[in-house]
Amino acid sequence: MQSHPEGFATLEAAAEAVSAYNPHRPRPKDIGGLAKNLRKRSDGRYYWHWDPSACSKAMASLSPA
């Protein structure tokens, strides 16, 4: 979830990123389902619907002390 912090210009671009990440999974014909996992911000770009600080904290907890 840390990839593409700049977001995506379109749902199609997000679908391409998902396909590249998981190439063995068949790509759905209707990519509209991605809209529930992405949020369109005021800049018009789509961003993953998650809290980056939560992910950073989780990654930090995995680092050796």
The pTM of the whole model exceeds 0.85: no
Residue with tokens 């950073």: 56
**Strand stretches in the chain, DSSP E:** 38-40, 46-48
What's the gap between Cα 25 and its chain centre? 16
Contact call for residues 38 and 47 (beta carbons, < 8 A): yes
List pLDDT tens digits, range 24-59: 999 888 999 888 889 999 999 999 887 666 666 666
C-alpha torsion angle, residues 34, 35, 39, 43 (rounded to 10): 100
Residue 16 amino acid letter: E
Q: Strand pairing partners for 53?
A: none
